Every structure is written in C-alpha cells, then in structure tokens.
Amino acid sequence: MIRLLSDRPDIKQDPNYNTFFTNLKLLIIMSKAFLNGYPLEEQRLKEIIRSAEDVTKDCIDWKGQRSNFRSIADSKRSIQLDHIFFERVRLLAFMSKSFAQGNPVGDHRRMALKKNIDDLCSMLQYVPAQEYEDTKTA
C-alpha cells in the first residue's frame, strides 16, 4: 500500500492543535459576520454552538492542552499563548454561543464582542523570531 503523506514537518503536528485553531477561526469569522449583520442560518448557528463548546473544552485543560499548544507555538516561534489568550478565547466562545442561542445582544455586548475579536486577531498575528525573543525576555 502506498502512503501519501506530506513531507512538511508542520503538517504532522498534534491534531488537537489544528482543530483548536480551526474552531477558533470559525468562531471569529462567524462572530464578525454576526456583527456585520449577515444572516446566520440554523445550520450555521448549530456549528457556532458546537465550535464554541469544543474550544471551551480545549481551554479548560490548563495543565495538558495549554502546555502542548505552547510547546508547538514556541517551536514555530509564531504566536504567544498565555492565560490571557485562553481567557479571551473562552470569552469569545461564551459570547458567540450566547448570540447563536438567540439571546439579545445590545450595543455594549456588541462593542465588547468586537473588542475581544480585535484583540484575539492581533494576538494571532505572526511575530518574527527576533521580535518574539524580545517579547519573551520582557
């Protein structure tokens, strides 16, 4: 049997790492769509709720999952994962699950959701190795 696998080393990482960030990106995209007034169908709302629950489960395991994510991020030298990052992710999951379930969203909640998304997006930006070393020692 022929095994057809990628030779890229970053493809062979922990599947939980890839699933976590895929669900996180989905929550960010769907939350931005909600904030911009795009219609969200029933299937999309169910997917938001499922992704929010999965992301929350991954964030709860502070000892295991977080250390695995951190070691992968340190090896890539691309993003920093700390407790603030995971708290923001949990907040995004909670807020997106809330609006997906049909709970009312006022102006203050919209502003909080937008600020949280903006902060997460800035945290997920690529940090070159030189800048990463400077922030790590600070």
Q: How far is CA 115 from CA 10, 77, 79, 83, 126, in A?
A: 31, 25, 19, 18, 19
Within 8 A by CB and 6+ apart from 51, the residues are 23, 26, 27, 30, 93, 96
pTM given for the model:
0.71
More confident residue, 84 or 43: 43
- 42-62, pLDDT tens digit by residue? 999 999 999 999 999 888 764
Rounded mean pLDDT, 93-110: 94
- pLDDT score, position 14: 54
- pLDDT for 4 beyond 70: no
25 HSE (CA, 13 A, CB side): 8
Share of the chain above pLDDT 90, in %: 46
